[in-house]
Each structure stands twice: as structure tokens, then as C-alpha cells.
Amino acid sequence: MPPRRIAQIIATLDRAGAEKQLSLLATGLPRDEFVVHVLALTRGGPYEQTLRDAGIPVTVLHKRGKLDPLAFWQARRWLKRLQPDLVQTWMFTANAYGRAAALAAGLHPLVAAERCADPWKQWLQLAIDRTLARRTDRIVVNSPGVRDFYVAAGIAADKFTIIPNGVPAYHPSGGTRAELLAELKLPADARLIVLVGRLWPQKRVKDAIWAADLLKVIRGDVHLIIIGDGPQRDDLVRYRDQCEIQDRVHFLGARPDAMRFVERADLLWLTSAYEGLPNSVMEAMAAGVPVVATDIPGVRDLIIDGQHGLLVPVGDRAGLARCANRLLESPELHQRLGAAGRERMTREFSVEAMVKGYAELYRGLL
């Protein structure tokens, strides 16, 4: 039997979590069994080149605004021309446009991927999700917390398949911590906390800045490195400046080499109000870097508090500072949590296991 043609549809190919998982999946599926084609509705991005380098065709539509009938028509035309054996869509924009286009083109089976518990969704978005779910063969989620959110929103529980994110095996980058500190123009004895993520309200980055200010009161060596960009950047820089900690909080923007900073950090913070299965936490754990994160669904699937990392309630700025100080003050705790996190990622969250889960799902539907 010739390889089956799989269409993957997503809004963008930006440097973000779902886009990374799509890239890992598309490049990891066995080529003798599946041929992947990718459609980005709104724009390409860094993962577009990754996919092209792997020989995976990518089409970008340049959708405009939230409602673009032309993009729907173009997606339908692309699907009718491709005639895939299976269509998978990722996150709300693609789940709406992509599923509707696939149904209009008469294509099945149809798989949707929900990556996050999304409290931002209002009645209209949830109504669209419920309506399209009835004609979707499977909905893949990356954690029980995401499934539970959508079941509570009215989608049948038997629609869901849980396939956790995969984290690539950790390979140290070149260079030393001393060289990195010199590059950042920081003292040789600086202790580094890294936060990686898009700068928008979900991530609650102000909590991290406030916690860094609290740490400054009790110790003089901690620096917070914020990697990422987004619509809140200017507001967050102003907030940092109002807190008068320009010397301790450093915005590096979006970085393709984010892991170079994470792997040399003393710990990683995640301050989000909601997530799916956060890649930044998984990658830090895979590198043996201890994590202090908010106690939310998704994160709980990665970290048992005190065993693989430390958890704090959402918005607990003092808790973030207190847990960070515990790790900085206790080499034994730091080493134990880092080692346990690395072992868990290797054992339970490999890319190979993620790809295998999707391949088995596709085989069962085709």
C-alpha cells in the first residue's frame, strides 16, 4: 500500500508550543507509511523552514483578520486538490477554518488537536467547538486537564484521545556559563532564573517581575531573564522600570537559542494562569533544570510538587520568590529535583512516544 497522505492545518508556524509539536510530529512520522503536507492559514515562521528542510511541503495562505471567507475558500481548494487520506487541525483558528473546509470538501477522517484549557473562549467559540466536534472523528489533547475543560464545555468525553507532548532528547549546547554571563554583562556570581514564553496576559509575566523584586530584597545575586515577545512587551518593560529593577530583569526577546539560556539557568519559572502541557517546562526538566511553576492543569501532569519541581498557586508572587530562594539555598534540593525531572521526561515524554501515539491513532482511523 502506498503511503497515506496526511494534511496538517495550523494558523502559524511561529516559534510556539503547538507549532513545535506539529513540526516534531510531521518530521517524525514514518515516511514509508505517511506523507505529510502542512497548511499554515495566517503566516509561516521559523518552523516553516524546519519542515521544508525535512522535505515536507508547506503552503501559507496569509489569512486576514478573524473572519476571512477567502481563506476558507483557499483552504477548501487546497484540500480538494491534495485529497488527503486524513486531515488534522491544530488550535482554534485552524480547528474552525480547517475543519469547516475539510467538511465542505467531503473529507474524512477528521482529527482536531486542542492544546490548552482555554478560559478565554466565549459562548460563540465554544458553540463552534461543540458544533464541529460532532463531525470530528477524534479530538487529540495533550493532558487530562485539557480534556476535562472541553468535556465541561459540552463535548462528549468519548471523542478525546490523550497524547502528551514530546520533548526532544537533551543535547548540551556549546559554551560555558561564564561565557553566557559575560555575554549578558552580568557578574560571575549571578544566579539566573529564566522565563520563556509569549508576552501576553495568559503568561502573567508581571507576577515574575514582582517576585524578582521580592528576591532582590533578600539577596543581591538573582537576575530574571525573560525570553519571548508579544503584545505585552512594552507594558511589561514599563512595569519593570516602575518597580526600579532594570538591573535585575532582562528582556531578551524571541530567541532561537532559548535553550542555551535555560540549560545554564539555576531554575525556570512558569507563571501562567492556564496551559496545556507547557514545552518550556518540559525542556527545562529534560535538561535537568529545576522548575517552579503555577499549580494548574497540565503542569500537574508534569510535576508532582516536591518530587519533580515546586508548585505555587496562580498569582502567588511571594510563593515564587520563596520557592526560588529554597532552590538557590539548597544544592541538595536543586540536584534532586533537577535529576527527577530529567528522568521523568526521558521515561514518559519522549518525541518517539508522541509520534507513536499519533501513528497508532491514524492507523486506527484509516
Whichever domain contains 64, its CATH number is: 3.40.50.2000
Q: Where are the alpha helices (DSSP H) in 41-191?
A: 46-53, 69-82, 91-104, 123-133, 144-152, 177-183
pLDDT of residue 65: 86
Per DSSP, the three-state class of 73 is helix
The answer to whether residues 150 and 192 belong to one domain is no
Strands 222-227 and 191-196: parallel
| Whether residue 145 sits in one domain with residue 284 | no
What phi and psi, each to the nearest 5 degrees, are found at residue 151? -65, -45
- Which amino acid appears at position 165 of this protein? N
Name the domain count of the chain. 2
Residues 238 and 91 in one domain: no
Q: Are residues 282 and 199 in the same domain?
A: yes
pLDDT digits (tens, 9 = 90+) for 179-216: 999 999 999 999 999 999 999 999 999 999 999 999 99
In the prediction, which pLDDT does 174 show? Answer: 80
Same domain membership, residue 156 and residue 210? no
Quick one: which of 315, 313, 312 has its CA closest to 323? Answer: 312
Quick one: 10 and 151 in the same domain?
yes
3-state secondary structure of 113: strand
Determine contact, residues 90/165, Cβ cutoff 8 Å: no
CA gap 118, 42 in Å, rounded: 20
Domain of 221 in residue numbering reads as 177-348
Amino acid 232 reads Q
Residue 229, domain member (yes or no): yes
Q: Residues in the chain with pLDDT < 70? A: none
CB–CB of 87/79 below 8 Å? yes
Q: In this structure, is residue 193 part of a structural domain?
A: yes
* Position 321 in a domain: yes
Contact by Cβ (8 Å): 35, 57: no
Q: Which helix (H) or strand (E) holds 291?
A: strand 291-294
Distances (CA, A) of 342 to 125, 138, 327, 332: 37, 31, 16, 16
Clarify whether residues 119 and 182 are in a common domain: no
- Is 64 contained in some domain? yes
Residue 172 placed within a domain? no
Q: For strand 267-270 and strand 4-12, is the pairing parallel, antiparallel, or unpaired? A: unpaired
Cell of 335: 540536584
Looking at the structure, tell me whether residues 306 and 192 fall in a common domain: yes
| 278 inside domain | yes
37 lies in the same domain as 68: yes
What integer pLDDT is reported at residue 17 of this predicted model?
87
Which pTM value belongs to this model? Answer: 0.86
Radius of gyration of the chain (CA): 21
Residue 171 lies in a domain: no
339 and 360 together in one domain:
no
> Is the separation of the CB atoms in 89 and 112 below 8 Å?
yes
Do 264 and 354 fall within a single domain? no
The answer to whether residue 111 is domain-embedded is yes
Residue pair 17/146 in contact by the 8 Å Cβ criterion: no
Same-domain pairing of 121 and 144:
yes
